[in-house]
Amino acid sequence: MFPTDDEIELMPEPKGWGMKVRQWRERHINERTLVILLALVIGIAAGLAAVLLKWLIGFIGGLITSAMTVSSGNWLYLVFPAVGILLASLYVRYVVRDNISHGVTRVLYAIALKKSRLKRHNMYASLIASSVTIGFGGSVGAEGPIVFTGAAIGSNLGQRFRLSPNLLMMLVGCGAAAGIAGIFKAPIAGLLFTVEVLMLDLTAGSAIPLIIASVAGATVAYAFTGYNVEFFFSQSEPFITSRIPFVILLGVFCGFVSLYFNKLTELVEGLFSRLQPRYRFVLGASILSLLIFLLPPLYGEGYGSINQLLRGETGNLFDGSIFYQWRNNVWMVMAFIFMLGAMKALATSATNGGGGVGGTFAPSLYVGCMAGFFFAYTLNHFGAFNGVVPLSTKNFALLGMAGVMAGVMHAPLMAIFLTAEMTGGYDLFLPLLIVSVASYGTARIFTPYGIYARRLAQRGQLLTHQKDQSVLTLLKMDSVIEHDFIIVHPSMSLKEMVDVISRSNRNLFPVTDDDGKLLGVVQLDDIRNIMFRTDLYRRMHVERFMATPPTRLVVGTPMEKVMKSFDDTGAWNLPVVDEEGRYVGFVSKSKIFNSYRQVLKHYSYD
């Protein structure tokens, strides 16, 4: 469950030196300069957080796996992932006392409905919980938590200086972009993440701070970890144009793989949401531990497995596995890689559903790498290129990473540049473009939303690129319901109805029964021809001339659906009822349009 607006933690009013700093800033630094300076500070802070998170994951994971044997199965894989989920869930439940899972989705939620305000503990809570989760083997990524951390840094720093909601939104984007840039060493991908995933409008006013924050985050990462890419990739086989049809086929294949990833994640999340916390842990820990015991490469982020496939190697994938003795069997290699790709989504969902904290960036890259390698390896094995140079499994593993990420997140540009920046594979830029577009197009046919936006779209709480839909997202039905309509009953006579009309300034009247349930409506235009016939005053009753409304709106209906109801019915006013059908009020187009203009004016900026 997402927090309500009442649970938003507001920054306390600055006192003492805090107030003096704010007053000095207002006298000496204009708002535009302040935003640029804050973007730099946020970028550095988020970059440091990314470096710390990567170090913690590596340190914990190194301690855990140092005792693992290579040539056989390890029963400790049945223990440590469950311990990691338990520690993370206890920390979240008893120390943080707030839901910090699905970090990117919660940042989207904050942008859409909470005016970009995030609680202070979000600046460190996800970092601690995810490092424990992943270090002990949780099959998730560090990117979602670092986005949440960076966004919280930007939000709280902006709140400290009492910036307007639109500037606060920009600083949230700066923190998220810097987090991505720092964790992946990919500044361009960090910038594109805010555009395609967080869906912030990129304008002249917002581009510079976002670029500064992304570059600062990546620079900090380079300064601490060296000037090297996240994944080592050396293109030993040149890409030739005759491979383009296979790249298109790979893109379509990745599109369906991404659909599988999203649908399975949605299904498993729905299952876990219906369970009590203790049963969530038991089920999630059991699934995760069993999967990692059978398929050790599912342990943690899985970056080691990605690096192996990008080198064209498969033997080391079987390290620590009960299948180690079959590592040179072609059919086993094919089946093993297929299972790794197919089960990663389940392992990720089980980790988060069981109480762990992590993101889906790394899992989507992992699945993509497996899918691309499997695609080329299978075609080569079945002799699709007899007498011709076979497909490069290394190249197609790289392309698969971009393809599945583009389909899972509906962010093709970010997928292209992120893959290129992480691997240095710029020589494959054209096939990266092709596979990403083909995958995104395939996935887009079946679902309009990526994995992060889907969770909010299902609740009608998604802030999108379309300005009108964005504004509707920010509107609430409660704010546009009108209650000044006089209620009438079906047994009332025409004379009583005329008396009601004389006291009302409305031309519409709801008809309810004794329990308050809406039965119909009376429109003044429908009875204008009989309302002055005194001979009918006693003989004609409301039940004779009331009409059925074209549709009824239920309290809490998202404004996007409300407007669709107006479009479908052509009505100007629609009644609102509660879950039991009791009358609440009316919603009118004019009221919505007035509220729409006010919100649009408030949230628009250059």
Question: Cα–Cα distance between 406 and 427 in angstroms, integer?
Answer: 19
Instruction: Tell me, yes or no, whether 117 and 177 share the same domain.
Output: yes
pLDDT tens readout for residues 159-173: 888 787 778 888 999
Instruction: Tell me, yes or no, whether 182 and 291 share the same domain.
Output: no
The enclosing domain of 360 has a CATH number of 1.10.3080.10
Q: How far is CA 252 from CA 158, 234, 309, 582, in A?
A: 43, 25, 21, 49
DSSP string, 121-133: GGGTHHHHHHHHH
Question: Cα–Cα distance between 396 and 376 in angstroms, integer?
Answer: 6
pLDDT tens readout for residues 26-69: 666 777 888 899 999 999 999 999 999 999 999 998 888 887 77
Residue 460 pLDDT level (bands cut at 50, 70, 90)? low
Instruction: Tell me, yes or no, whether 50 and 89 share the same domain.
Output: yes
| 460 or 404: which leads in pLDDT | 404
Instruction: Tell me, yes or no, whether 218 and 164 share the same domain.
Output: yes
Of 439, 460, 481, at which residue does a domain stop?
460
The winner for highest mean pLDDT among 5-14, 453-462, 474-483 is 474-483
Instruction: Tell me, yes or no, whether 144 and 47 share the same domain.
Output: yes
pLDDT tens readout for residues 81-110: 999 999 999 999 889 888 777 778 778 777
Residue 564 has pLDDT above 70, yes or no: yes
**Which phi and psi angles does 475 have, rounded to 5°?**
-85, 150
* Percent of the chain scoring above 90 in pLDDT: 42
Residue 499 has pLDDT above 70, yes or no: yes
The pTM (predicted TM-score) of the whole model is: 0.77
Please give the pLDDT value at position 349.
Answer: 92
Instruction: Tell me, yes or no, whether 83 and 205 share the same domain.
Output: yes
426: which 2 tokens? 């710029």
Residue 8 has pLDDT above 70, yes or no: no
pLDDT tens readout for residues 387-421: 567 888 999 999 999 999 999 998 899 999 999 88
Residue 235: inside a domain, yes or no?
A: no
Number of domains in the chain: 3
225: which 2 tokens? 């970890």
Instruction: Tell me, yes or no, whether 155 and 43 share the same domain.
Output: yes
Residue 270: inside a domain, yes or no?
A: yes
When pLDDT is averaged across residues 587-600 and rounded to a whole number, the result is 71
Residue 471 pLDDT level (bands cut at 50, 70, 90)? low
Residue 233: inside a domain, yes or no?
A: no
What is the H or E stretch that residue 526 is in?
A: helix 524-527
Residue 247 pLDDT level (bands cut at 50, 70, 90)? very high
| 457 or 227: which leads in pLDDT | 227
Residue 357: inside a domain, yes or no?
A: yes
Residue 234: inside a domain, yes or no?
A: no
Residue 231: inside a domain, yes or no?
A: no
150: which 2 tokens? 């960076």
Instruction: Tell me, yes or no, whether 452 and 554 share the same domain.
Output: no
Residue 236: inside a domain, yes or no?
A: no
Q: Which ranges of 66-142 would DSSP assign to H, the alpha helix?
A: 80-90, 103-113, 125-135
Of 460, 479, 499, at which residue does a domain stop?
460
Instruction: Tell me, yes or no, whether 418 and 533 share the same domain.
Output: no
CB atoms within 10 A of CB 550: 15
Of 438, 460, 482, at which residue does a domain stop?
460
Scan for tokens 């887009």, then name that residue: 444
Instruction: Tell me, yes or no, whether 270 and 377 share the same domain.
Output: yes
Please give the pLDDT value at position 194.
Answer: 87
When pLDDT is averaged across residues 413-442 and rounded to a whole number, the result is 91
Is residue 215 within 8 A of residue 348, CB to CB? The reply is no
Residue 2 pLDDT level (bands cut at 50, 70, 90)? very low
Q: What is the dihedral of CA 402, 260, 1, 362, to 10 degrees?
A: -30
Residue 21 pLDDT level (bands cut at 50, 70, 90)? low
462: left (phi over 0), alpha (psi -120 to 50) or beta: beta
**Which phi and psi angles does 240 have, rounded to 5°?**
-115, 155
Is residue 531 within 8 A of residue 493, CB to CB? The reply is no
Instruction: Tell me, yes or no, whether 263 and 140 share the same domain.
Output: no
* Residue partners of 12: CB distance under 8 A and separation at least 6: none
DSSP β-bridge partners for residue 573:
588
The enclosing domain of 474 has a CATH number of 3.10.580.10
Mean confidence (pLDDT) of the chain: 84
Please give the pLDDT value at position 67.
Answer: 73
Instruction: Tell me, yes or no, whether 50 and 188 share the same domain.
Output: yes
Full domain range(s) for residue 158: 5-225
When pLDDT is averaged across residues 420-440 and rounded to a whole number, the result is 90
Is residue 394 within 8 A of residue 310, CB to CB? The reply is yes
Please give the pLDDT value at position 599.
Answer: 59
Residue 425 has pLDDT above 80, yes or no: no
Residue 428: inside a domain, yes or no?
A: yes
| 198 or 23: which leads in pLDDT | 198
